[in-house]
A and B are shown apart, each in its own frame.
Chain A
Amino acid sequence: MREQPLREVTQLIHAIEMGLVEGSYSITNKTLDIFKYIIMSKSWQSAEALMQIVRAQSRILQAALPQETVTSNIARRILKMTREEFDLLQAKVQHFADDSQASLSLHKLVTQTSENCVSVDYSLPQQGLREALLDHLQEVETELETSSENISVQAEEHIHSSEIILTLGHSRSVENFLKRAIKKRQYLTIIVAECAPSCRGHNLAATLAQEKNVEIIVIPDASIFAMMSRVNKVIIGTHSVLANGGLRAACGAYTVALAAKHYSVPVIVLAPMYKLSPLHLCEQDAFNMVGCAEDVIAYDSLPARDAKVYSPIFDYVPPELVTLFISNTGGHAPSYVYRLLSELYHPEDLEI
């Protein structure tokens, strides 16, 4: 059982690889469902055992889908959740809850040393842990569901009327965000870089064009720099946010961010909390993947025979090129990401 994938996990992996499940949101949702199933199942008796199972399944997912960091992010959330609930229940049992939990004062934070931090024994069986976990999981699910909505309501805070906004490719958060902005603000001009070779920007443009009071301009990727001089804000989505505040975003994002930097245009990145991953990858070679090159140049064309053709999927955007992150909990500077991470995940779970 231990290192064997669950049937649900294999199904999910298959679905993602076949492209049946697309987008970080749905992948996160599906992963969460799997972990919920694990928690509900009778296969574990202690918190330790549950954490073992979650880790094992998460490792399998990560090995099968190295590019989808959201699965491990969710696993980390579950692990942290388990720890918290266990601690809470233990504290209640031992009746010194008011002492250890309530007074996490500044004094304590400063004076706290590693010796004070007693390692908790999670192997003890605990009454009511399952129910508490399911309750907590409900919260996480709601957070996930409302994350896109929560991001888009912040549109008014960041966009004024008759602004010229540039975006790249097609991100669902960006789509919702811009739709909201279009409703609330008038005379926006939205420039969509098409993001060749898949040209997903066309989809975004077509969707946004259904709204009123907005002007949509589709540009090829080559014109980003030329147009940037007129742009007020760059709003992009991202695949995941790295621990240093950098981005692993769609290919082309680096150029956009660089051009924005050149013209001192603020770059706003929409990233729901589940995209924050505690990874330190400061070079794209560490994570990039190359896609099918057929779209870049036809296989049967003459020069394609000897030429090397690359079609990378991601770009690394260093944190200094990002102005602001907007997550479902509010806006954050790139330098603050480490703090969010420490709130979100337990330090011991950073490596699954």
Chain B
Amino acid sequence: MVVTSEQGSTSFPVSKQKKQRQRNRPRNKRNRSQDTKIQTQIESAMQKAGSNQQPNASAADKSREQVMAEREAKKLAKQSKKQKQPPNQTPATTIITEVEQTTITQKLTTTTTTTTKSKDNNNKNQLSLAAASITPTTAAVATNIPVSADSITTGEKTRDQIKAEREAKKAAKHAAKSSKSVKANNVDAVPQQLNNLHVAAKTTGNETAATEVSSPADQEKKKPPLSKAERRAVQEAQRAAKAQGQTKTKAAPITQAAASSAKATPKVSATPVKEPKRDSESPAKSPVKLSTLKAERECKMKLFNHLASADKDASLFVNDPNLHPSMARLGVQYAERTVVGSNARCIAFLHALRQVVRDFETPAKKEFGRSLDVAVKHHVDHLNKCRPLAVSVYNAYKQFKNQLTQLPADQPETELKDQLEHFIDTYIENQIGKAAQAISSSMQEKITDGDVLLTFACSSLIQFICEEAKRRQVAFRVIVVDSRPFCEGQEMLRRLHAHGIPCTYVLINAIGYVMPEATKVMLGAHALLANGYVMARTGTAQVALVANAHNVPVLVCCETHKFSERFQTDAIVYNELCDPNQLVMSGKCCLNNWQTKSRLTPLNLSYDITPPELVSAVVTEVAILPCTSVPVILRIKPDIGY
């Protein structure tokens, strides 16, 4: 299969990048973990302020990993307790760290000595903390911490504990001061708020503490429900913290996600509460600022408010214990656009899906088909978050789901798995491989000596057709039209050039210059919509338009597995926004720092819609058809779209 090759070749730089990230890790570790801490604190504070959530829910179903995580956490806590014993003469920051650690271990130990109920409670906390670092969704459960603090007040205070508190408060005050001095806008106020909230939580917990620093008035001020703006700022901070905290764990193999995150958790909670200066400075703030800017910007582009934002970081979702590594990898590949193109995405998805099926273990007392359906749905949702699903992928998923529902119930699991894998293989072979061959063979009749084929961007199918024509020794040449910022045409040019096909290369503005030479226009497609519109890489419609003006026939090559039941009449209702920074040219460019100019937005659309009147015919494996016959195909092939 031709298409898969690009996946292999392009995945290389990604892994390299990852390595680099790992190398950088130790230096930034503290900041990141600190941020995670902040995050959990904000969450707890917000929970307190907004209150009325029942946090016990998440602890209800303990999976094996969670239990393991819990054990890990306990072990680590014990270790740190041991470490505490010798008097410490280490530099200031580490002192704080250890002191913090001790307070936590103290809490742990005190709770274990008290009633079993509180012990259970505390364990839950640890557990939920672990969960929080894995999945942001469960992070809210971290509220329990202050509650547990309440529960330990009965136990007498050790010297270390008091000392730790003092340290923490001092640090918090310091941070508050420094952050105040920087700038008192919403975003900057966040760390300060955090500190106050944290201190407040502590003081409520430990009424016996001799050193009360924060005045009750201050607490009152900070604790009541946050205003809308404040809440947004807090959310921004959370998001930034999350992003930082999780890039750290991203590099770790995901199969051991549970274990590794459990290890990470005690570390996270053991880091110093606040390190005055650093907190208010770069690590947390700059991304926060950027993200607020982005939020503002999204409101600015009135026309495109409804479209999904392009700057979703795949690493945000990657730390999911329920995610199969192959799917996690695919998600990153989608998001970073190392796997592009409708066919390539579909094939990659099906390969990953086969892995998932193979490695799937049916939970006890559950039906294979049902539980696999749930698992696959989870994976597809993840992929959709990384990048909106391609129509081809969606259709493949629908087909697979359909197959799942038809599984016989009485057969053993391994046989069912074999069936499913076989189904996936045949889907790839028939819908993509054989379809391409069929399309190619019908296109060969259209390509004759002296033809000048014009094509836009990169399509694996067009490439396949051209190669086949070359094999037949037809004397033809190809004009590759390309556009910034993707410049996929260069890839097409490279592939055609490798097969010795003479090529001409122009950018899309110059299409009027080369169109008189062209005898046929061949275009690939992302999808064919039910109203006959062709959805393809942005620019395709323009090529078809100019071809029409020059009376050059436009042939769209599209397999039927890309047919969609959607209706769409313009490219704005549904589209995908890519990274606007790609528009900025490297080096000196007027668009540099466009983020700072509130009224300027680069827009990078992924697809556009070619109206059927601009397309002479659609070449499918079934037949060569007019665009408007899509519904017919959808009807005679009901298994395509649901």
CA gap between A19 and B542 in the complex, in Å: 32
Contacts of A53 in B (CB 8 A): none
The 3 closest A-B pairs by CB, nearest first: A222-B539, A252-B509, A222-B483
Contacts of A307 in B (CB 8 A): 480, 493, 497, 503-505
Q: A39 at interface (Cβ–Cβ under 8 A)?
A: no
A259-313 interface (Cβ within 8 A of B): 259, 262, 284, 288, 296-297, 301-312
Closest to B514 in A: A310
Option from B490, B506, B538, B603 in Cβ contact (under 8 Å) with A310 = B506
Q: A83 at interface (Cβ–Cβ under 8 A)?
A: no
CA gap between A104 and B608 in the complex, in Å: 58
Question: Chain A's nearest CB lies how many Å from the CB of B572?
Answer: 6
Q: List 22 A-B contacts (CB under 8 A).
A: A212-B599, A214-B599, A215-B300, A216-B600, A218-B602, A220-B484, A220-B583, A221-B483, A222-B508, A222-B608, A223-B603, A224-B542, A226-B538, A252-B508, A255-B511, A259-B545, A296-B507, A301-B490, A303-B503, A307-B503, A310-B510, A315-B513
Q: B585 at interface (Cβ–Cβ under 8 A)?
A: yes
A297-B505, A316-B512 known; A217+B301 contact, CB < 8 A: yes
Contacts of A197 in B (CB 8 A): 484, 507
Residue among B483, B506, B509 facing the most chain A CB atoms (10 A cut-off): B509
Residue among B537, B571, B572 facing the most chain A CB atoms (10 A cut-off): B571
A315-335 interface (Cβ within 8 A of B): 315-316
Contacts of B514 in A (CB 8 A): 310
Option from A194, A304, A306, A308 in Cβ contact (under 8 Å) with B484 = A194
Q: B589 at interface (Cβ–Cβ under 8 A)?
A: yes
Q: Interface with B: A86-94, A123-131, A203-211, which one?
A: A203-211
Contacts of B497 in A (CB 8 A): 302-303, 305-307
Q: A202 at interface (Cβ–Cβ under 8 A)?
A: yes
Contacts of B302 in A (CB 8 A): 189, 215
Q: A60 at interface (Cβ–Cβ under 8 A)?
A: no
CA gap between A76 and B571 in the complex, in Å: 48
Asked whether, in the complex, the Cβ of B512 is within 8 Å of the Cβ of A255, the reply is yes
Q: B605 at interface (Cβ–Cβ under 8 A)?
A: yes
Question: Chain A's nearest CB lies how many Å from the CB of B419?
Answer: 43
Q: A199 at interface (Cβ–Cβ under 8 A)?
A: yes
Q: A27 at interface (Cβ–Cβ under 8 A)?
A: no
Secondary structure at the A interface, as helix, strand, loop or mixed, is: mixed
Closest to B614 in A: A262
Closest to A308 in B: B504
Q: How many A-B residue pairs have CB under 8 A?
A: 183
Question: Chain B's nearest CB lies how many Å from the CB of A162?
Answer: 10
Option from A218, A258, A312 in Cβ contact (under 8 Å) with B600 = A218
Scoring B residues 451 to 492 as 1 if CB is less than 8 Å from chain A, else 0, what string do you get?
000000000000000000000000000001001110000100
Asked whether, in the complex, the Cβ of A255 is within 8 Å of the Cβ of B513, the reply is no
Q: B549 at interface (Cβ–Cβ under 8 A)?
A: yes
Q: B601 at interface (Cβ–Cβ under 8 A)?
A: yes
Asked whether, in the complex, the Cβ of B509 is within 8 Å of the Cβ of A251, the reply is yes
Asked whether, in the complex, the Cβ of A296 is within 8 Å of the Cβ of B542, the reply is no
A213-236 interface (Cβ within 8 A of B): 214-227, 229-230
Option from B506, B510, B570, B583 in Cβ contact (under 8 Å) with A229 = B570
Q: A195 at interface (Cβ–Cβ under 8 A)?
A: yes
Closest to A321 in B: B549
CA gap between A229 and B605 in the complex, in Å: 14
Contacts of B301 in A (CB 8 A): 215, 217
Asked whether, in the complex, the Cβ of B600 is within 8 Å of the Cβ of A205, the reply is yes
CA gap between A310 and B506 in the complex, in Å: 6
Secondary structure at the B interface, as helix, strand, loop or mixed, is: mixed
B538-588 interface (Cβ within 8 A of A): 538-539, 541-542, 545-546, 549, 570-572, 575, 583, 585
Asked whether, in the complex, the Cβ of B570 is within 8 Å of the Cβ of A205, the reply is no
Asked whether, in the complex, the Cβ of A222 is within 8 Å of the Cβ of B510, the reply is no
Q: A196 at interface (Cβ–Cβ under 8 A)?
A: yes
Contacts of B539 in A (CB 8 A): 221-223, 225
Asked whether, in the complex, the Cβ of B600 is within 8 Å of the Cβ of A209, the reply is yes
Option from B490, B575, B583, B603 in Cβ contact (under 8 Å) with A303 = B490
Question: Chain B's nearest CB lies how many Å from the CB of A181?
Answer: 15
Q: A338 at interface (Cβ–Cβ under 8 A)?
A: no
Asked whether, in the complex, the Cβ of A222 is within 8 Å of the Cβ of B542, the reply is yes
CA gap between A148 and B18 in the complex, in Å: 54
Q: B597 at interface (Cβ–Cβ under 8 A)?
A: yes
Closest to A295 in B: B507
Question: Chain A's nearest CB lies how many Å from the CB of B128?
Answer: 45
Q: A122 at interface (Cβ–Cβ under 8 A)?
A: no
CA gap between A234 and B485 in the complex, in Å: 23
CA gap between A214 and B545 in the complex, in Å: 30
Residue among A217, A229, A284, A301 facing the most chain B CB atoms (10 A cut-off): A217
Question: Chain B's nearest CB lies how many Å from the CB of A176?
Answer: 18
Contacts of A226 in B (CB 8 A): 538, 541, 570-572, 575, 605, 607-609
Asked whether, in the complex, the Cβ of A258 is within 8 Å of the Cβ of B545, the reply is yes
Scoring B residues 581 to 622 as 1 if CB is less than 8 Å from chain A, else 0, what string do you get?
001010001110010010111111101110000000000000
CA gap between A284 and B510 in the complex, in Å: 11
Asked whether, in the complex, the Cβ of B599 is within 8 Å of the Cβ of A194, the reply is no
Option from B493, B505, B585, B601 in Cβ contact (under 8 Å) with A216 = B601
Q: A44 at interface (Cβ–Cβ under 8 A)?
A: no
CA gap between A255 and B605 in the complex, in Å: 18
Asked whether, in the complex, the Cβ of A303 is within 8 Å of the Cβ of B542, the reply is no
Question: Chain B's nearest CB lies how many Å from the CB of A189?
Answer: 8
Q: B502 at interface (Cβ–Cβ under 8 A)?
A: yes
Q: Given known contacts A199-B484, A303-B494, what 10 new A-B pairs fall within 8 Å (CB)?
A: A209-B599, A217-B301, A219-B603, A220-B483, A222-B608, A226-B538, A251-B513, A255-B511, A255-B542, A304-B505
Q: B303 at interface (Cβ–Cβ under 8 A)?
A: yes
Contacts of A224 in B (CB 8 A): 542
Closest to B602 in A: A218
Contacts of B570 in A (CB 8 A): 226, 229-230
Asked whether, in the complex, the Cβ of A206 is within 8 Å of the Cβ of B512, the reply is no
Question: Chain B's nearest CB lies how many Å from the CB of A294?
Answer: 13
Scoring B residues 343 to 369 as 1 if CB is less than 8 Å from chain A, else 0, what string do you get?
000000000000000000000000000
Asked whether, in the complex, the Cβ of B572 is within 8 Å of the Cβ of A255, the reply is no
Asked whether, in the complex, the Cβ of A202 is within 8 Å of the Cβ of B490, the reply is no
Asked whether, in the complex, the Cβ of B590 is within 8 Å of the Cβ of A262, the reply is no
Option from A218, A255, A312 in Cβ contact (under 8 Å) with B603 = A218
Asked whether, in the complex, the Cβ of B503 is within 8 Å of the Cβ of A308, the reply is yes
A202-B590, A222-B538, A223-B603 known; A195+B509 contact, CB < 8 A: yes
B297-315 interface (Cβ within 8 A of A): 300-303
Contacts of A309 in B (CB 8 A): 504-506
A123-152 interface (Cβ within 8 A of B): none
A226-B538, A258-B549, A259-B542 known; A311+B601 contact, CB < 8 A: no
Contacts of B494 in A (CB 8 A): 302-303
CA gap between A197 and B590 in the complex, in Å: 14
Option from B480, B483, B512, B607 in Cβ contact (under 8 Å) with A196 = B483
Closest to B570 in A: A229
Closest to A298 in B: B490
Contacts of A223 in B (CB 8 A): 538-539, 603, 605, 608
Contacts of B537 in A (CB 8 A): 222
Asked whether, in the complex, the Cβ of A225 is within 8 Å of the Cβ of B512, the reply is no
CA gap between A222 and B485 in the complex, in Å: 9
Asked whether, in the complex, the Cβ of A262 is within 8 Å of the Cβ of B603, the reply is no
CA gap between A225 and B504 in the complex, in Å: 23
Closest to A293 in B: B505
Question: Chain A's nearest CB lies how many Å from the CB of B527?
Answer: 15
Asked whether, in the complex, the Cβ of A311 is within 8 Å of the Cβ of B510, the reply is yes
Question: Chain B's nearest CB lies how many Å from the CB of A223?
Answer: 5
Contacts of A221 in B (CB 8 A): 483-484, 507-509, 539
Residue among B503, B513, B591, B609 facing the most chain A CB atoms (10 A cut-off): B513
Question: Chain B's nearest CB lies how many Å from the CB of A303?
Answer: 4
Contacts of B480 in A (CB 8 A): 307
Option from A199, A225, A296 in Cβ contact (under 8 Å) with B585 = A199
CA gap between A302 and B495 in the complex, in Å: 10
A196-B507, A215-B300, A222-B542 known; A254+B512 contact, CB < 8 A: yes
